[in-house]
Every structure is written in structure tokens, then in C-alpha cells.
């Protein structure tokens, strides 16, 4: 939700609240028998509005808005939220009562200086009323913050859905391009004469890749093991195009277990590495490493290239900006992406945290 709309909601609430408080205080002074002149009556009315009605409500409202809801209620800690909300309301009411005794002369608002048991009863009554008023403001703050949070989450989900669709289309366009398919099929066709069994294996890999891209990517998350398997098959198909067995180095450290990840998070970087690695005769021209740690997954993709022949590393592939936007939506505050483009080496380091 836009900040201007949030500000308008706050301003609108406090204007309505202040108007209601002015009406209530005006009715009280009109019906009261206090012998105050007009100037003193107006001055006392403003003090009463600010201290009795507004001061405790502001404290309770914004502590509930910025503390109770995000730290407790949003985490489904209902009992703790209720208890903390009541404590805040009572505390704000007590502060308001102290302010009344300090700023408003005795007897101008409420006769609280009649001493003894009646005085204590009056003080308790005033604090109780202020607590009720503050609690109502706190509940309004929770409702308002809840509505704003719900709206922002709905908007984020819609944006994520749209970005996922854009990414999916871009991935299909980048991966299922005619060059990749034709080159792979031609290489498999050549292998049919030399080694039919190996050609059949590659054909099955291609079939698995197409099936994965068309069906597995429809879900929000997949098993990390499937993602790694897809990467392995993709790399194996790409290696058909060179006789250098050490052209690509792919390593996985750690156990994927039942860990989940968004589909095709890593493959755009690998696809770009193959697209822009210019010399297939170099050993370890492309290095892809996945480190599966207890709290995160570290992905490293490096490729060597001829800087004199390259203009832009991600030109023609899935753009880095689209990848970054997708990561920000999928893993907000839970990932770190570093891209280093040196004279002859391009490296990507992506860390995704669990949680």
C-alpha cells in the first residue's frame, strides 16, 4: 500500500477521533456546574482533550501498531498480544492520570482532590475510563495494521505470481531456443551411429529436461534434489558439444535431504555461463558448485570468457534484473546475490537461507 494512503488512514482516524473527543468534552462542560469563565473553560477543554482523550490513545495506538501486531499478533501469539495490549493501555492511562493532576488545576476537569477513600475511588475510576478509551484505540490500531499488512501481502502474492509467470516464460524462451534443441538433437543423431546406448541416454536426458521445465516448474517449490538433478542433466547435454571432458566442473557438497527450493533458481546463471564461455578447449572453463549447509545453500557459478569478444555477459539470456526481482520476491531478506565481472572471469555467488 502506498505511504500516502497509509498516512491518510492515520490522519483520517485521528481527525475523527479528535472531533468525537471535542464533542464529548463540550457536552460535559455545558452540563457541568463549574464556575469557570469562558476563557478558562475553553483552555481547560483543550487540555482535557489532549491529556484525557488523546495522550493515552496515541501511546496505545502506536505501540500496538508498531510493537504488538508485528512482534506478537502477526506471529499468532494471541494471549501474549492481549496481555501486552492491556498492560500498554493501563500504563498509558496511568501516565494520562499523572498528566491530568500535573497540568489541570484541581476541580477543573474532575474533582479528584476530595481526599480519602472518595479520592482514591475517583482516581481509579478516571484511570479505568482512560484505559477503556486507550484499549479501543489499540484495537483500532491492530485492525488498521492488520488490514494494511493483509493488503500488502495480497499485492506481494500477485506481484510474485506475475514475476514467476514472466520468469517462466523467459526461461522457456532462453532454454528451449532452437539452437540448443537443434545442436543437442544433431549431436545425439551423430552418437546414434557411434554409440546408440549413449545416444539413448542423452535423448532420455533431453526428454527429462523438457518434462521438468514444462511441468515441475508449475509449483512454488520443489525438492532441492530434483533441481540438482535437472542441473546435472542440463550440463551433461551441454558437454556433448565439446570433446573436452574437463570443460565443465560440477560439484555438490552436502545432503539435499527433503529441503525445498523455488524451481529453476540456479539454471539461468548456468545457462548464461554456457552461452558466454567462449573457449571450450580450456579446462574448468565453467565451474558450478552447490554447498548445502545447515542454515543455507551456497551456489557458485564461474565461467571464463574472452573480454575482447564480450559486450554484456547476460545479453541474449535471462537478464540479471529479472533474476534479481524474482529472488527479491521469492526470498525477501533471505538471500544474498553477488555478481563479479572481471576482465576474463564472470562469477555468481548466491546464498539462500532456510526458513
For residue range 108-163, what is the model confidence (pLDDT) as tens digits?
Answer: 444 444 544 556 677 788 788 888 888 988 899 999 998 888 888 888 777 777 76
DSSP, collapsed to helix, strand or coil, labels residue 340 as strand
Q: Rounded to an integer, what distance in angstroms lies between the CA atom of residue 117 and that of residue 184? A: 94
Q: Rounded to an integer, what distance in angstroms lies between the CA atom of residue 18 and that of residue 24? A: 10
Choosing from 104, 124, 156, the residue where a domain stops is 156
Q: Band of the pLDDT at 317, cuts 50, 70, 90?
A: very low
Q: Are residues 348 and 224 both part of a single domain? A: yes
Q: Are residues 138 and 191 both part of a single domain? A: no
Q: Has residue 272 been placed in a domain? A: yes
Answer whether 339's CB lies under 8 Å from 305's CB.
no
Q: Are residues 148 and 255 both part of a single domain? A: no
* Structural domain containing residue 289: 176-353
Q: What is the CATH number of the domain that holds 199?
A: 3.30.565.10
Q: Are residues 139 and 207 both part of a single domain? A: no
Q: Has residue 170 been placed in a domain? A: no
Q: Are residues 117 and 264 both part of a single domain? A: no
DSSP, collapsed to helix, strand or coil, labels residue 352 as strand
Answer whether 270's CB lies under 8 Å from 307's CB.
no
Q: Name the residue with higher pLDDT: 40 or 282.
A: 282
pLDDT in the model for residue 299: 96
Q: Are residues 190 and 287 both part of a single domain? A: yes
Q: Has residue 162 been placed in a domain? A: no
Q: Are residues 140 and 195 both part of a single domain? A: no
Q: Has residue 163 been placed in a domain? A: no
Q: Rounded to an integer, what distance in angstroms lies between the CA atom of residue 327 and that of residue 160? A: 10
Q: Has residue 301 been placed in a domain? A: yes
Q: pLDDT tens digits, residue range 161-201?
A: 776 666 665 655 554 555 667 777 887 887 788 888 888 88
pLDDT in the model for residue 348: 94
Find all residues with CB under 8 Å of 306, minimum gap 6, and list them.
278, 279, 344
Q: Are residues 180 and 303 both part of a single domain? A: yes
What is the average pLDDT value for the chain, to the nearest integer? 79
Q: In terms of C-beta density within 10 A (0-12 exposed, 13-18 middle, 19 or more buried), how is residue 291 classed?
A: middle
Q: Is the pTM of the predicted complex or chain greater than 0.95?
A: no
> For cell 529472488, what's the residue?
327
Q: Has residue 266 been placed in a domain? A: yes
- Res 248 pLDDT > 80: yes
Q: Are residues 24 and 93 both part of a single domain? A: yes
Q: Are residues 150 and 222 both part of a single domain? A: no
Q: Has residue 315 been placed in a domain? A: yes
Q: Are residues 204 and 342 both part of a single domain? A: yes
Q: pLDDT tens digits, residue range 266-280?
A: 988 888 888 888 777
pLDDT in the model for residue 241: 76
Choosing from 156, 186, 219, the residue where a domain stops is 156
Q: Has residue 80 been placed in a domain? A: yes
Q: Are residues 150 and 184 both part of a single domain? A: no
Choosing from 156, 187, 221, the residue where a domain stops is 156
Q: How many domains does the chain have?
A: 2
Amino acid at each position: 500500500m502506498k505511504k500516502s494512503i497509509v498516512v491518510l488512514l492515520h490522519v483520517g482516524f485521528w481527525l475523527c477521533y479528535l472531533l468525537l473527543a471535542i464533542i464529548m468534552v463540550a457536552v460535559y462542560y455545558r452540563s457541568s456546574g463549574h464556575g469557570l469563565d469562558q476563557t478558562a473553560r475553553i483552555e481547560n477543554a483543550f487540555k482535557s482533550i489532549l491529556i484525557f482523550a488523546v495522550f493515552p490513545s496515541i501511546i496505545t495506538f502506536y505501540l500496538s501498531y508498531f510493537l504488538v501486531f508485528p512482534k506478537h499478533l502477526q506471529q499468532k501469539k494471541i494471549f501474549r498480544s492481549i496481555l501486552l495490549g492491556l498492560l500498554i493501555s493501563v500504563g498509558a492511562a496511568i501516565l494520562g492520570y499523572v498528566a491530568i493532576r500535573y497540568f489541570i488545576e484541581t476541580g477543573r476537569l474532575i474533582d479528584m482532590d476530595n481526599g480519602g477513600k472518595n479520592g482514591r475511588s475517583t482516581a481509579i475510576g478516571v484511570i479505568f475510563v482512560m484505559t477503556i478509551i486507550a484499549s479501543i484505540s489499540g484495537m483500532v490500531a491492530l485492525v488498521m495494521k492488520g488490514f494494511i499488512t493483509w493488503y500488502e501481502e495480497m499485492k506481494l502474492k500477485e506481484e510474485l505470481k506475475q514475476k514467476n509467470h514472466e520468469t517462466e516464460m523467459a526461461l522457456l524462451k532462453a532454454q528451449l531456443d532452437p539452437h540448443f534443441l537443434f545442436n543437442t538433437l544433431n549431436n545425439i543423431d551423430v552418437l546414434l551411429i557411434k554409440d546408440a546406448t549413449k545416444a539413448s541416454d542423452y535423448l532420455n536426458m533431453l526428454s527429462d529436461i523438457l518434462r521438468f521445465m514444462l511441468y515441475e516448474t508449475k509449483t512454488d517449490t520443489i525438492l532441492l534434489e530434483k533441481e540438482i538433478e535437472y542441473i546435472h542433466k542440463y550440463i551433461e547435454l551441454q558437454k556433448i558439444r565439446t570433446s573436452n571432458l574437463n570443460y565443465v566442473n560440477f560439484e555438490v557438497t552436502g545432503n539435499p535431504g527433503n529441503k525445498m527450493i523455488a524451481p529453476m533458481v540456479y539454471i539461468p546463471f548456468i545457462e548464461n555461463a554456457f552461452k558466454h564461455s567462449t573457449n571450450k578447449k580450456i579446462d574448468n572453463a565453467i565451474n558450478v558448485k552447490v554447498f548445502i549447509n545447515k542454515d543455507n545453500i551456497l551456489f557458485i557459478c564461474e565461467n571464463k570468457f574472452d573480454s575482447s569478444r564480450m559486450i554484456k555477459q547476460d545479453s541474449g539470456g535471462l537478464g540479471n534484473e529479472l533474476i534479481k526481482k524474482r529472488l527479491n520476491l521469492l526470498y525477501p531478506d533471505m538471500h544474498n546475490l553477488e555478481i563479479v565481472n572481471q576482465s576474463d572471469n564472470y562469477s555468481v555467488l548466491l546464498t539462500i537461507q532456510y526458513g
